[in-house]
Each structure stands twice: as structure tokens, then as C-alpha cells.
Amino acid sequence: MQVIVTGHHLEITDALKAHIDSKFAKLARHFDNVTDVHVILSVEKLVQKAEATLQLSGAKLFAEDHQEDMYAAIDNMVDKLDRQIIKHKEKTGSHR
């Protein structure tokens, strides 16, 4: 899984990159067909925004979250993606 992190009006620190990598490593446990992840972190006045596009085998998932704290925004965004991955996995699984 390749994780690309981009910052708009924000410098990506090693701590942010490590936090994102650890969170997406947990997502890889649920579904191992994640090929590409593009994370965009941005700051607009007092709002910290985290958004991510996940490329799966056969689907493209998107989630975003707005918080006052960047780490909280990343956590909520990963939780949303986790729910979407589980839903996608249930759809593609065999029902027999």
C-alpha cells in the first residue's frame, strides 16, 4: 500500500506522517487489496481538514473530516474509511 500525503497551507511533519501511516496500517488489516492512498491535509483559518481517497481493487473510496485538531480529523477520517471498507468487503464477499 502506497500512502501519499499532501499538505495545503500546512507543512507535513514527521509526526503527522507517522500518525497517518499507523492509522492506515490498521485499515490494511481489514482489507488487503488497498493499492493506493492519497491523503490531503489542509488548514483554513481555525478549521483543520483531512481528506483521503483510497483506491481498492474495483472501487474508489473517499472520506473527509473537519475538526479543530488535525489529529482528531485524521482519526475520524480513518474511522469513516474503515466503515466504507468493511461495507465494500461485505458486498464483494460470497454469500454462499
Q: What average pLDDT score do residues 9-14 get?
A: 92
pLDDT digits (tens, 9 = 90+) for 49-60: 999 999 887 789
Name residue 61's amino acid. Answer: L
Contact (CB, 8 A) for 21 and 3: yes
What domains can you pick out in the chain, each with its CATH number?
A: 2-92 (3.30.160.100)
Contact (CB, 8 A) for 7 and 39: no
pLDDT confidence of 94, banded at 50, 70, 90?
Answer: low
State residue 42's pLDDT score.
Answer: 95
State residue 25's pLDDT score.
Answer: 87
